[in-house]
Structure 1
Amino acid sequence: MARTHLLWTTAEAAAFLRISPKTLRNWRSMGRGPAYERHAGRRGVFYRPAVVRRWQKDNTWVIDPEARLSAARRTI
């Protein structure tokens, strides 16, 4: 049975985003990346899965190769 997480650790959120935990920590220190939470009595920071998914969706760019070709043809 799959374990249900209410909160993700930095390592779990980084794995979902396919980046290293160090990158996620760096983003956090620069004020970038998904929102996180600190909880009294618990060490570290935590991420809500829905917030991480929303952040990923809002910050993912889809590059359409056809659009790039059309733009290149217009400049020729």
Structure 2
Amino acid sequence: MTDQQSFAPLWDTDDVAAFLKVPAKTIREWRHKEEGPRYSRLGKHVRYLPGDVMDWVRDQSRLDAA
């Protein structure tokens, strides 16, 4: 297996919004406020690693449970 095959596809804002079942506008607002999942900028494009989004969701659960 090559390094390229070991990576999951990157998600864009719409993918994250669909996964979290929130409007894409909410994802953009979280990004602007630095409150949402980690992301990367690839030129003018914003992309998310699915694992980072899932880690962020788990972290939110822990914060809400406290």
Alignment of 1:60-75 (within 5 A): 60=61, 61=64
Name the one with the larger helix percent: 2
How many pairs does the alignment contain? 57
TM-score normalised by structure 1 residue count: 0.67
Q: Residues of 2 paired with 1:15 and 1:55: CA distance?
A: 15
State, as a whole percentage, how many aligned pairs show the same letter: 39
- Displacement, 1:56? 0.6
Q: Residues of 1 paired with 2:41 and 2:9: CA distance?
A: 14
Kindly name which structure, 1 or 2, has the bigger radius of gyration based on alpha carbons: 1
- Displacement, 1:44? 2.4
Structure 2 residues not aligned, in runs of 5+? 1-7
TM-score normalised by structure 2 residue count: 0.76
Moved >3 Å (runs of 4+): none
User: Among 12, 19, 22, which residue is 2:15 paired with?
Assistant: 12
- Displacement, 1:17? 1.0
Alignment of 1:1-40 (within 5 A): 5-40=8-43
Structure 1 residues not aligned, in runs of 5+? 63-76
